[in-house]
Amino acid sequence: MADRYLSFAGTAPGRFLTHRLGLPQPAELRRDALDGGLLHLTAGRTDLDLAPVLGRTGLGPDDDGRPAAVVLDATGVRDVDALTEVHAALHPVVRSVAVSGRVVVLGAPLDPDDHHQAAVQQALEGFTRSLGKEIGRGRTVNLVRLADAAAAESTLRFLLSPASAYVSGQVIEVGPATDPPAAVPDDPEHPLAGRTALVTGAARGIGAAVAGTLAGQGARVVVLDVPQAEREARGLAERLGGTSLALDITAADAGERIAAAVPGGLDVLIHNAGVTRDRRLVNMPAEHWSSVLDVNLASVLRTTDALLAAGAVNRGGRIVATASIAGLAGNAGQTNYGASKAGIVGMVRSLAPRALREHGVTVNAVAPGFIETKMTAAVPLFIREAGRRMNSLAQGGLPADVAETTAWLAHPASGSVNGQVVRVCGQSLLGA
């Protein structure tokens, strides 16, 4: 369903009226190309060699004082006095960042042996989240904690691109470079070429967008959905040049059947299948509780365990599960759904280090907020409008936003991104 308020607010009368009434003034997000160059700033003394990495983002240097993106290297900030350099660097330029532009602050891992450094590096999180809420005009602000510039290349390329249009106010931790280092794809436009990806719940909605994005990046996609959606799944798979698999993901042998369907193993496993059965707890039948927990959480745990145990996820593989801001912040009428999605977060945080150590596989999650789908189009008007406006970008996201974030986590060069839960919510005010 079209966002008519967004369209109206973009007109001259709309801008005037929304300003006079103090209403949200969303800017249409740029999802094709960013308009302008890159401005690289520093605060504190830094040892990072960012020039080679930033040179491969596709953004040239800012030449006209209207940067499309600003990167502030604050990894060298170690005391409160150095925090003044953060203000000094960004204060003069924030207003000049282009509409739908990017601000990325780089921080260092917190030093457990230096509480002053840990304090000011944690301060960067509060700074970044606050700036994201006030910068406006469709701009995003994110914090990346890193120790190695090369290890963060895929993350910086994502955050400095149109693909991250609906990702803001996030703190992403990038670990050390993988050993051996991740191979650079031969074709940057098709980094998943030669890789096999399976997406559950892929016949429609966000799952279909994820499957399409992965296929567009070169992956051979297996479109998995319940037997009732077999026709849709098969049609999508044919359009993408992949295959379909009709399977109830809650089946006890789902993992074994997936492994049998991909004899060469999986390189990318996307857990997207999910259901809602919304009611307040006092009115919720037991079957509504159990069905949501079974589909959204238990099936993810069972199939992941089975596929890892069978060696069906290849070394260098990626597992990306779908959480939700309802699992992070809670939502009235969704105790079952919130529990299931919070469970995904717990799984990711616990499994990620072990899966990387034992299987060479990363485990991450995306947590969508209000995304424009057929499901949200059916939500009552006032609730739908509240969902759209209650974020720093004052609009709903698109399935493509979740798909692009998933594709970044699935990228062969994203091996240093592990155990992360990334909200795709426009910096929703829920749980912020």
What are the backbone dihedrals phi and psi of residue 91, each rounded to the nearest 5 degrees, phi first?
Answer: -50, -45
126: Cβ contacts below 8 Å, ≥ 6 apart: none
Is the pLDDT at 432 greater than 60, yes or no?
no
> Which residue, among 109, 268, 113, has the nearest Cα to 194 in the 3D structure?
268
**282 and 151 in a common domain:** no
DSSP 38-83: EEEEEEE------HHHHHTSS--B--SS--SEEEEEEEE--SHHHH
Tokens linked to 92: 């003069």
**404 and 281 in a common domain:** yes
> Which residue, among 361, 334, 321, has the nearest Cα to 199 in the 3D structure?
321
DSSP 96-113: GSPTT-EEEEEEPPP-TT
**How far is CA 93 from its chain centroid?**
27
- pLDDT above 70 coverage of the chain, percent: 98
Count the alpha carbons within 13 Å of 3 in the hemisphere toward its beta carbon.
Answer: 26
Is the pLDDT at 334 greater than 90, yes or no?
yes
Span 212-260, pLDDT tens digits: 999 999 999 999 999 999 999 999 999 999 999 999 999 999 999 999 9
CATH number for position 418: 3.40.50.720
Residues 173, 179, 180: CA angle, nearest 5 degrees: 130
* Count of other CB atoms within 10 angstroms of residue 231: 13
**363 and 228 in a common domain:** yes
Is the pLDDT at 419 greater than 80, yes or no?
yes
Between the two ends of the chain, the Cα-to-Cα distance in Å is 26
Span 36-54, pLDDT tens digits: 999 999 999 998 999 999 9
Catalytic residue among 127, 289, 337, 408: 337
**133 and 59 in a common domain:** yes
Instruction: Give the per-residue pLDDT at 246.
Output: 98
**338 and 305 in a common domain:** yes
- pLDDT above 90 coverage of the chain, percent: 84
CB distance 191 to 218 below 8 Å: yes
Higher pLDDT, residue 231 or 379: 231
Residue 1 in domain? no
**225 and 340 in a common domain:** yes
Mean pLDDT of 285-298: 97
pTM attached to this predicted model: 0.95
Residue 429 in domain? no
Q: How many domains does the chain have?
A: 2
Residue 18 in domain? no
**164 and 217 in a common domain:** no
Helical (H) or strand (E) element with 7: helix 4-9
Single residue among 173, 207, 235 that ends a domain in this structure: 173
- In the sheet that holds 38-44, the strands lie side by side as 38-44, 69-76, 102-107, 140-145, 171-173
Residue 188 in domain? no
Bond from prior residue into 185 cis (ω within 30 degrees of 0): no
Residue 325 in domain? yes
Query: Sign of dihedral through CA atoms 321, 187, 260, 228?
Result: positive
Is the pLDDT at 177 greater than 90, yes or no?
no
| Whole-number Å distance between alpha carbons of 186 and 105 | 29
Instruction: Give the per-residue pLDDT at 66.
Output: 94
* Count of other CB atoms within 10 angstroms of residue 235: 13
**207 and 158 in a common domain:** no
**382 and 292 in a common domain:** yes
Residue 281 in domain? yes
Residue 337 appears among annotated catalytic residues: yes
User: Helix crossing, 80-90 with 115-134: angle to 10°?
Assistant: 30
- What is the domain extent for residue 314? 196-424
**56 and 121 in a common domain:** yes
Tokens linked to 150: 């090369």
Is the pLDDT at 30 greater than 70, yes or no?
yes
Q: How confident is the model at residue 188 (pLDDT cuts 50, 70, 90)?
A: confident
**142 and 97 in a common domain:** yes
Is the pLDDT at 142 greater than 60, yes or no?
yes
CB distance 423 to 167 below 8 Å: yes
Single residue among 173, 207, 241 that ends a domain in this structure: 173
Is the pLDDT at 1 greater than 80, yes or no?
no
Residue 178 in domain? no
Residue 107 in domain? yes
**220 and 153 in a common domain:** no
**How far is CA 3 from its chain centroid?**
22
| Whole-number Å distance between alpha carbons of 239 and 253 | 28
DSSP 362-406: EEEEEEE-SB-SHHHHTS-HHHHHHHHHSBTT-S-B-HHHHHHHH
Instruction: Give the per-residue pLDDT at 182.
Output: 67
Q: How confident is the model at residue 180 (pLDDT cuts 50, 70, 90)?
A: low
